[in-house]
Chain A
């Protein structure tokens, strides 16, 4: 994952106590489980899982300052580029492998998804929904690659090289015969609402999935 993207994540994380998509995630993680957080940023989720749920966690991160932040929080952080895959980890080494807002930024999301479910019994993934109505409207009316608070980059310098919609992701899960255990969507403020629940692919800005093999 690019440093740019990590910085965006870090900014988002530092703004709130625990982002509500992270709050959703922590409800899906069992107490005392073994967790691997891919692109763990400054480690807010890991720190929360460690103190509140007594989880044993490792975070993978590439950005220097984020790694230092994790060290300061007393977390296990391992410098690693997600594009290099998870070959370092053994099959079923973890209970849950989490990846927030990084799926769209890796070179082969499909391969990484396989790897996540090889290493973990479950995977929790969040990503920005390219089917969100504002994104569709932007492309329709301006005829240009959409930019927004969630997607602040130009087409030529964006780390988000594999944008997808909810439907795309669910199609991938079907092709891989994965079971979707939970699915929820939140808006750009990471809040759930009735409208996003009714029309997720149109009104949901960020997707949160929990899948297993």
Chain B
């Protein structure tokens, strides 16, 4: 635990678990007969339950978005934007964040026990798509008695879920925040994911995804996958600024071990990730990203796809994000204008690449705060 919890933190938080016995039929045709969802909440749900904000997490995210777990030094992954007085102000909003199905932080996923075999699901865990997550999130909302969210907000893969919410459950949200996201992946995005998956699946310790039964972990593959992904989240400028061509030691050693600081950093990131994340979850999440293309069911017309939406939209991109570039966000904005929807769009100057959406860049925080103030004002919260 940090010595001092900042005054703008939601403080110590404890995850909760919701159990569901109603079978969930997935897009793939498979069925999850029962499942658990782990979630956290911050702030107070008001009497008429109108101040709930759902936060959807990205590829490697989870339910712990803000505050501190007992004993932890670091706060949740979006603590910069969630808390008293922050952009998503917990003095006004009741914030809900969950670990998505297929995840590895407590909700039912590949590391859970398959009731039919009494062994971990491993690669037998059914593939989950963005629409399945939205469905499970709606069920969690039902469980908590929330009929309509004030806002559904997400960054990256989380933004895809928020976007999906807008037309899958148009009457269950008033505002939709889509940050550093895209209406579908590009061929290059899919290619990066495939390299990552290949690294995992070719690891000798992968055992066709049933590594847990063998007490093994495809650590090298997961590490390589994360190293690749991590560098796509950064910009050339950000890496240049952080590491340049700095060496770990005074001179080059004519060896193949990491010598440049950037190599050492990537190894550290990969190592850290490979000990806390599940390889099958990584495969599943990247596939959910790849498959996401809701407009394909509307003649590849995104405006037509978004036509049923009743919410107002807030779209944000970052200048050096080349994984989900501003142009991708602008595709969403253009479709929303074409579909006659209310939309506000900002492209934030930042050298931090895709990761920028997690960083409290002053201009980003300012417009995000202004937008959430508008949400609170228009909903009389």
Chain A residues in 8 Å Cβ range of B374: 71-72, 74
Chain B's interface: helix, strand, loop or mixed, by majority? helix
Q: How many angstroms from the CA of A77 to the CA of B342 in the assembled complex?
A: 9
Chain A residues in 8 Å Cβ range of B82: none
Chain B residues in 8 Å Cβ range of A79: 345-347
Chain A residues in 8 Å Cβ range of B378: 74
Q: Interface segment, A88-96, A97-105, A189-197, A203-211?
A: A88-96
**B345 and A88 form a contact (CB under 8 A):** no
Assess A90 versus B338: contact at CB under 8 Å? Given A76-B344, A78-B344. yes
- Asked if A127 is at the interface of the complex by the 8 Å CB criterion, the answer is no
Query: A71's closest neighbor in chain B, by CB?
Result: B370
**B344 and A77 form a contact (CB under 8 A):** yes
**A88 and B330 form a contact (CB under 8 A):** yes
Chain A's interface: helix, strand, loop or mixed, by majority? mixed
**A67 and B337 form a contact (CB under 8 A):** no
Q: How far is the CB of A44 from chain B (nearest CB, A)?
A: 17
Query: A77's closest neighbor in chain B, by CB?
Result: B344
Q: How many angstroms from the CA of A68 to the CA of B370 in the assembled complex?
A: 7
- Interface positions, chain B 295-333, Cβ under 8 Å from A, are 330, 333
Number of residues in B with C-beta < 8 Å to the partner? 21
Chain A residues in 8 Å Cβ range of B343: 58, 76, 78
Number of residues in A with C-beta < 8 Å to the partner? 19
- Asked if B367 is at the interface of the complex by the 8 Å CB criterion, the answer is yes
Assess A71 versus B338: contact at CB under 8 Å? Given A79-B346, A88-B333. no
**A89 and B337 form a contact (CB under 8 A):** yes
Assess A67 versus B346: contact at CB under 8 Å? Given A74-B374, A88-B330, A88-B333. yes
Chain A residues in 8 Å Cβ range of B367: 64, 67-68, 71
Query: A67's closest neighbor in chain B, by CB?
Result: B346
Closest 6 CB pairs of A and B: A71-B370, A78-B345, A88-B334, A68-B370, A79-B346, A79-B347
Q: Which residues of A contact B (CB under 8 A)?
A: 34, 56, 58, 64, 67-68, 70-72, 74-79, 88-90, 93
**What are 13 inter-chain pairs, A to B, with CB distance below 8 A?**
A67-B344, A67-B367, A68-B366, A68-B370, A74-B377, A74-B378, A75-B344, A76-B343, A77-B344, A88-B330, A89-B334, A89-B337, A90-B338
* Other 14 A-B pairs with CB < 8 A, given A68-B366, A74-B378: A34-B340, A58-B343, A64-B363, A64-B367, A71-B370, A71-B371, A72-B370, A74-B377, A77-B345, A78-B345, A79-B345, A79-B346, A88-B330, A89-B334
